[in-house]
């Protein structure tokens, strides 16, 4: 029997065969047997359901984190705007230049933190957990 596989799929089959130390034919035979026997459908469905549930919980976590960050940013922005003094007309250009410098510094710090994997919410969770363990509350 001659069978054609798309190059990408063939590479996946080859990689799987290499990882499992079996022939490509053995990988393909096992896949076809699994498909035609239907025995693994229940296990596969259960595993897929479990993964989907896990992904759903992670999406809920991300949704909550985004909501917290959005609210925190809104509160910070309101407080910041309340405390800004009006800039005299003759200082507008200097203020604009200073704001551009500060924004560039902000972006540099943000990029560095993200590159190191630092996240405010993770740090906050660790801070709260540490205080609870120490018995000082949040």
Q: For the segment 1-21, what is each residue's pLDDT rounded down to a tens digit?
A: 788 889 999 999 999 999 999
Rounded Cα distance between 21 and 134, Å, is 51
Q: Would you say residue 105 lies in a domain?
A: yes
Domain count, the chain: 3
Q: For residue 31, what are the domain limits?
A: 7-39
pLDDT for the residue numbered 68? 83
pLDDT for the residue numbered 40? 67
Give phi and psi for 91, each to the nearest 5: -110, 5
Rounded Cα distance between 105 and 111, Å, is 10
Q: For the residues 32-46, what does the mean pLDDT come to?
A: 77
Q: Would you say residue 73 lies in a domain?
A: yes
Instruction: Provide the token pair at 55.
Output: 């992904």
Q: Would you say residue 92 lies in a domain?
A: yes
Helix count (H) and strand count (E) of the chain?
5, 0
Considering the domain architecture, whether residues 12 and 22 belong to the same structural domain is answered as: yes
pLDDT for the residue numbered 137? 57
Considering the domain architecture, whether residues 96 and 54 belong to the same structural domain is answered as: no
User: Are the CB atoms for 5 and 13 separated by under 8 Å?
Assistant: yes
Q: For the segment 71-98, what is each residue's pLDDT rounded down to a tens digit?
A: 888 888 888 877 887 888 888 889 889 8
Considering the domain architecture, whether residues 104 and 134 belong to the same structural domain is answered as: yes
Q: Would you say residue 65 lies in a domain?
A: yes
Considering the domain architecture, whether residues 93 and 52 belong to the same structural domain is answered as: no
pLDDT for the residue numbered 136? 65
Buried b (16+ CB within 10 A) or exposed e, 46-78: eeeeeeeeeeeeeeeeeeeeeeeeeeeeeeeee
Name the more confident of 119 and 116. Answer: 116
Q: Would you say residue 33 lies in a domain?
A: yes
User: Is it the case that residue 120 has pLDDT exceeding 60?
Assistant: yes
Radius of gyration of the chain (CA): 28
Rounded Cα distance between 86 and 92, Å, is 10
pLDDT for the residue numbered 55? 95
> Which range has the worst mean pLDDT, 67-71, 106-110, 118-122?
118-122
Task: Please name the residues in contact with 27: beta carbons below 8 A apart, sequence gap of 6 or more.
Answer: 13, 16, 17, 20
């Amino acid at each position: 029997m001659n069978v054609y596989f798309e190059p990408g799929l063939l590479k996946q089959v080859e990689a799987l065969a290499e990882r499992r130390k079996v022939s490509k034919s053995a990988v393909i035979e096992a896949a076809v047997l699994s498909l035609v026997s239907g025995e693994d459908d229940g296990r596969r469905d259960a595993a897929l359901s479990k993964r989907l549930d896990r992904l759903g919980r992670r999406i809920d976590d991300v949704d909550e984190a985004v909501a917290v960050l959005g609210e925190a940013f809104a509160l910070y922005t309101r407080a910041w705007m309340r405390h800004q003094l009006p800039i005299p007309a003759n200082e507008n250009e200097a203020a604009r230049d200073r704001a551009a410098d500060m924004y560039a510094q902000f972006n540099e710090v943000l990029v560095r933190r993200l590159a190191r994997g630092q996240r405010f919410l993770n740090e906050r969770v660790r801070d709260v957990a540490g205080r609870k363990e120490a018995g000082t509350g949040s």
